[in-house]
Structure 1
């Protein structure tokens, strides 16, 4: 079940707060790992909560990665919808602004899915 299936967690609120924090740090020129540290273990936990392998790549600083992970639809739900419609699925995340393309054969049957990422990270982690 998705992490917020019982209404206990507030993923949308967490996502929004990480997004605001990222924007604020970028605008102030304060994006520093020592100011906004999130461990690899926490990011891996967020990925698992959303149904992704902990090694799945998300761009940006750690707080931007947290935002992007939480902004994703839960992978199991996305997979179930794709399978119910006979659409092959990829395990890559669909970042904001991305495109999910389904290639078909000459008969119009889905054969392969591709994700085109257009997302440009708002932040770059720095350690100085």
Structure 2
């Protein structure tokens, strides 16, 4: 799903289409996406509906994300959204050599997806 919504965003940017009229995602669909990903219904997600759909699907599923972080003493707010590939958190249970909260590095891999160029597709078929 992340790849599909990412491809639509790239396509809209290449064609300079306004996102909402051409790529509108219903509020009901966005709510369903949040629920599937474990994101609370009332968590704000910025952007157009297509950008929201992409951001929702571009999250580590919430249950897995919270379990991984909890195992090293890190918690995040319910409305937290992952925006970066690498994030450093402060642990509530781990300490560094100076007794300060230990830093926990969370890195997620978002594989690049090749998108076919629409203009090249037409010329290849001719």
What is the TM-score when the length of structure 2 is the normalising length?
A: 0.66
Matched residue, 2:26: 39
Matched residue, 1:16: 3
| 1:67 to partner: Cα distance | 1.0
Provide structure 1 residue ranges, at least 5 long, that are not aligned to the other structure: 1-13, 114-128
Q: Alignment RMSD, CA only?
A: 2.3
Higher helix residue share: 2
**Where in structure 2 are the equivalents of 1:117-128 lying within 5 Å?**
none
Matched residue, 2:62: 75
- Seen in structure 2, the aligned counterparts of structure 1 residues 97 and 76 have a Cα distance that, compared at 3 Å, is same
Q: Is the Cα–Cα contact under 8 Å of residues 19 and 50 in structure 2 kept in the other structure?
A: no
Matched residue, 2:83: 95
Matched residue, 2:16: 29
What is the TM-score when the length of structure 1 is the normalising length?
A: 0.65
User: What are the Cα deviations for residues 90-117 of structure 1, in whole angstroms up to 9, with x where unaligned?
Assistant: 330111346343166872346xx9xxxx
**Distance in 2, Cα, partners of 1:93 & 1:100:** 14
Q: Is the Cα–Cα contact under 8 Å of residues 38 and 62 in structure 2 kept in the other structure?
A: yes
Whose Rg is larger? 2
Higher relative contact order (CA 8 A, sep 6+): 1
| 1:82 to partner: Cα distance | 1.4
Provide structure 2 residue ranges, at least 5 long, that are not aligned to the other structure: 105-126
Matched residue, 2:53: 66
Q: Is the Cα–Cα contact under 8 Å of residues 94 and 100 in structure 1 kept in the other structure?
A: no
